[in-house]
Chains A and B, each alone.
Chain A
C-alpha cells in the first residue's frame, strides 16, 4: 500500500515552453502533497506544500508564478513549470501524506526534467 506515482518519469522540453508533472496517490487519499526539487549531488529541497482544495504554500525563494501547483483532488496534484529555462532542469519529486495524525510521507519515483 501507500504508492505514489509520477508522470512522466522523464521529459525534455525546449526553453520557453511549459511542462506539467502529475503526482498521484494510487491507493490512498492524500490530504497533503509536497513538491521537492533535487539538483545533482544535492539533497532534496522542498518547493511547496499543497492541501486539497486550497492554494499551495511555497517555500521562500520559490516563484509561485513559475511553478504552478494544483491539488484538485485527494489523489492528484500537478506541478507546471512555466516558461522553462535550462536552469530549471532538475529532478522533481512529489510526496504525499496520508492524513492528519499520520507521520509517514510516501514519495513518488521522481521526474527528470531537462530543458534544452
Chain B
C-alpha cells in the first residue's frame, strides 16, 4: 500500500470548516483513499473513501487532486466533538488497512 503523509496536528474554530490535507504521491491506480478518525480511547470510525472523484457524505467531503497524489478531507462545520486523530490511508479494495500517525485535529470553542 502507498505511504501517506499528514501534518501532525492542526486546529480550527468551532463552526468553521476544517480542511485536513494528505499526501499520497506513490498511490497506485487501484488504491483508494480512506479516511478514518479515532476519538480518544475509542475504536476508529469510518468517514469516507474515494478513488478518483470527489465524494461527499453526511460526515465530510473528500477532494482528490486530478493526479491523485494528494487529497483533502473537509469537515464543513467543525464541532468540539470532531476533535480526534484523523487517519488518511491509501489501500486497495479488500486490502488490510495500515494506520500511520494521523493528524490530530483540535477544535477550539
- On A, residues with C-beta under 8 Å from B are 4, 6, 34, 36, 43-46, 49, 91, 93, 95, 97, 100-101, 103-110, 112
Q: Which of A36, A46, A105, A109 contacts B46 (CB 8 A)?
A: A105
Does A43 lie within 8 Å of B96, measured CB to CB? no
Does B99 lie within 8 Å of A95, measured CB to CB? no
Does B41 lie within 8 Å of A91, measured CB to CB? yes
The number of chain B residues with a CB under 8 A from chain A is 21
> Contacts A43-B101, A43-B102, A105-B97 known; A95 to B43 CB distance under 8 Å?
yes
Does A103 lie within 8 Å of B34, measured CB to CB? yes
Does A101 lie within 8 Å of B93, measured CB to CB? yes
Contacts of A44 in B (CB 8 A): 38, 44, 99
Does A108 lie within 8 Å of B49, measured CB to CB? no
Does B43 lie within 8 Å of A108, measured CB to CB? yes
Most buried by A among B42, B44, B98, B99: B44
Main secondary structure of the interface of B (DSSP, over half): loop
Main secondary structure of the interface of A (DSSP, over half): strand
- Docked Cα-Cα span, A19 to B42, in Å, equals 20
Does A110 lie within 8 Å of B46, measured CB to CB? no
**20 A-B pairs in the complex with CB atoms less than 8 angstroms apart:** A4-B43, A6-B43, A43-B100, A43-B102, A44-B99, A45-B99, A46-B99, A95-B43, A101-B93, A101-B94, A103-B34, A103-B49, A103-B94, A104-B49, A106-B46, A107-B36, A107-B45, A108-B43, A110-B42, A110-B43
Does A110 lie within 8 Å of B41, measured CB to CB? yes
Contacts of A49 in B (CB 8 A): 96
Contacts of A6 in B (CB 8 A): 43
